[in-house]
Amino acid sequence: MMKMKLQGKRALVTGASVGIGKAIARALAERGVLVAIAARRTAALEELADEIARAGHRRPVVLATDLAKRGAAADLAARAVAALGQVDILVNSAGASIVGSQWVAADGAAARELFEINYWSPLALIQALVPAMRQRKDGAVVNVTSLAGVAPWVFTGHYSSTKAALSLASETLRLELNGSGVHVLEVTPGPTETALLAGARRDVPGAGAAMAWGPRGNTETLARLVVRALERRRKAFVYPRPFCLAPLLPGVARWFMAQIQRKLDGDEARLEAAREDVGAAAGGRRLTKNRP
């Protein structure tokens, strides 16, 4: 299969104000891609756009949006096409998380917003942008999922569910686009130093101690791997590399994570803290400390 040439392509990157999305936007710009960057915080996007322009690359198009709102993704897609002319590469990197048990987070407002950001918005962007890629017989969709979708952690089950759903959607999309010329890449990060990981260490019971061991990745390396995987038309990859067997052996991964967490079950103090956190999120729309 021929390599994908990124020079001159046009990409939309969501969640580009921080973390993985920001690093991917920067890495694509360095490869000669004209990027539209999207997130809630306009100031952070403008800062990134200025940084990329100062490095001698084309200044990204800044598109402020709140993907927690239904309909925002379709509007974002339309604005991206208007600004870029077309979108050749869609990077679904925006993500959020909440803290709470299954019976507390349940189907509340915070949980529904979480699914809107992490799952429904990527699908809405795919709906808006992939048909034109199919007509051109060229394009790529990059979905950033998570190893949390393979093996969950207590009180973050809703985040795991959104990422597991997006992973399955990515595989289905790949099957449906077979032979179309549109490539699908699933990026599955494990522990990577981002605001989301820092928030988990701080707010999720037992997570800080559990994360004290094992490898942790960084966003710059991950972004370089995304670019290389796009160029080589890889279907999927896991980062950091030592975790690469987890999606292939999900039963083993879940058993291992369950062993780590077995002493957390039934801890009422931790549970009450999680309840208070989700209650504040649902009442005050504090969906996450790590939203882009």
Give the model confidence (pLDDT) of 153-184 as tens digits: 888 899 999 999 999 999 999 999 999 999 99
Question: Taking 90 as the threshold, does the pLDDT of residue 70 lie above it?
Answer: yes
What is d(CA 174, CA 161) in angstroms, rounded to the nearest whole number? 20
Please report, for the chain, how many H helices and E strands are present, in that order.
Answer: 12, 7
The pLDDT tens digits of the residues spanning 43-67 come to 999 999 999 999 999 999 999 999 9
What are the residue numbers of the active site?
A: 159
Question: Taking 60 as the threshold, does the pLDDT of residue 283 lie above it?
Answer: no
> What is the pLDDT confidence band of residue 104, given thresholds at 50, 70 and 90?
confident
The domain covering 10-284 belongs, at the CATH homologous superfamily level, to NAD(P)-binding Rossmann-like Domain (3.40.50.720)
Mean pLDDT over 62-78 rounds to 98
Mean pLDDT over 244-248 rounds to 93
Question: Taking 60 as the threshold, does the pLDDT of residue 289 lie above it?
Answer: no
Greater confidence (233 vs 288) lies with 233
What is d(CA 139, CA 206) in angstroms, rounded to the nearest whole number? 42
Question: Taking 70 as the threshold, does the pLDDT of residue 3 lie above it?
Answer: yes
φ, ψ dihedrals at 140, nearest 5° = -155, 145
The pLDDT of residue 22 is 97
> What is the pLDDT confidence band of residue 137, given thresholds at 50, 70 and 90?
very high
What is d(CA 188, CA 79) in angstroms, rounded to the nearest whole number? 28
pTM: predicted TM-score of the whole model, two decimal places? 0.89
